[in-house]
Structure 1
């Protein structure tokens, strides 16, 4: 039997203030599962991921699990590559969309690692997904990956790509009126962007079923070449207060 792996999610990689950022933790779990489940995996988050707490990754032949004590935090299973990523948006249109970002006021999670704008300077991705003019149900934002401890020009870690693909999906809906959390994600990184390389993230709103929202997202370089894509399911909070439930029910990614 393969050995278990212990890990922690540092506190700076938060989504809500007291739990891990969905895209970041999904990317971390996907990397651990790849030798067991394959390069394309679906991560299902069943509980908010605690920060700076010991987690246990347990590989399995059909699926791997992440636990915190006796709590099941996530499962990782073989997935299918996204087949219909949202079309590219040119950098100028992405900048114009970002100017319409509504998260500077009333953000449900203003310190979110990817799209929170109440963090200290250069701490986080500072994404600002706003509606694309003339393209329904679609948001876009520029993103220039920071070095994150590596030199400019070197590829950034996949978990940062997963992070960038995550949050714009939430802003393709209306998180100010109905906050949601990522509950399931499948991402494929064709080429990791390099630190300092200008990129554009695009997300498109899909179907809503009860508390569940389906979205597609994609990462493009400045020449509008596809670098990565994802499909995801977001689950609305039971209420807009402190109760958070990630369960995506029977939806499939």
Structure 2
């Protein structure tokens, strides 16, 4: 396995959600998969998967980059905004001139349109953040469906916005626990939702979800973020 440079997060390392989504596919899980990142995932570097019982580890030589294992994920969605409400919330966000990782595959504002996830959420109320994601054919896909690892990336970065609503301090993903429930279709609008769950020191918790225009839940996740600012 090799993480292509296109799928970066912070400079020089892989997008956490994307890498987690790749590794999660190696785990036989009836419900959710939890992936913990141990070190920044290297780009354009040969990696291998090591199996440890029901868990799978992504390794560079003897170094464990990430570990994935089956998990239970309890989840309750908030009241859903409309697509128009979500679109308006995202449009109200000021230009992201101070983004800590401007070329990030998940949320970087400097990526060409359609070539990356490009997640952008705005605050709908005191708790919920929302935006609209319309994945296009430049993203990895098969049979009109977005690749699972890209869906994981779309669950990853949005959940950082409620954790650092003013764009800082910078946070990096520690653990992402996700469950994919319905395919994400190309060229279709989807709600991206995120909300904070708590904070203790440098560690913060948040949740995210992707819902299609028919109200079907495509994926849900909970994340642990680590402040590096």
TM-score in terms of structure 1 length: 0.84
Q: Deviations over 1:152-172 (max 9, x none)?
A: x72111111111111111001
Output the CA distance in 2 between the equivalents of 1:120 and 1:195.
17
Let me know the Cα RMSD of the aligned residues. 1.8
Output the CA distance in 2 between the equivalents of 1:178 and 1:14.
19
Output the CA distance in 1 between the equivalents of 2:53 and 2:222.
24
Output the CA distance in 2 between the equivalents of 1:20 and 1:210.
25
Q: Specify the alignment match of 1:140 in structure 2.
A: 130
Output the CA distance in 1 between the equivalents of 2:135 and 2:219.
14
Q: Deviations over 1:38-97 (max 9, x none)?
A: 552110001110011011110121422111123211111221124223432210111111
Output the CA distance in 2 between the equivalents of 1:206 and 1:149.
31
Output the CA distance in 1 between the equivalents of 2:177 and 2:140.
26
Output the CA distance in 2 between the equivalents of 1:195 and 1:40.
23
Q: Spell out structure 1 runs of 4+ moving beyond 3 A.
A: none
Output the CA distance in 2 between the equivalents of 1:189 and 1:205.
20
Any conservation in 2 of the 1:103–1:128 contact (CA below 8 Å)? no
Which one of 101, 110, 121 corresponds to residue 102 of structure 2?
A: 110
Any conservation in 1 of the 2:210–2:218 contact (CA below 8 Å)? yes
State the aligned residue count.
227
Distance 1:101 1:191, change over 3 A: same
Which one of 17, 25, 33 corresponds to residue 31 of structure 1?
A: 25
Q: What's the CA shift for 1:23? A: 0.7
Q: What's the CA shift for 1:122? A: 2.5
Unpaired runs of 5+ in structure 1?
A: 1-6, 241-253
Matched, 1:185 2:176: yes
Matched, 1:201 2:155: no
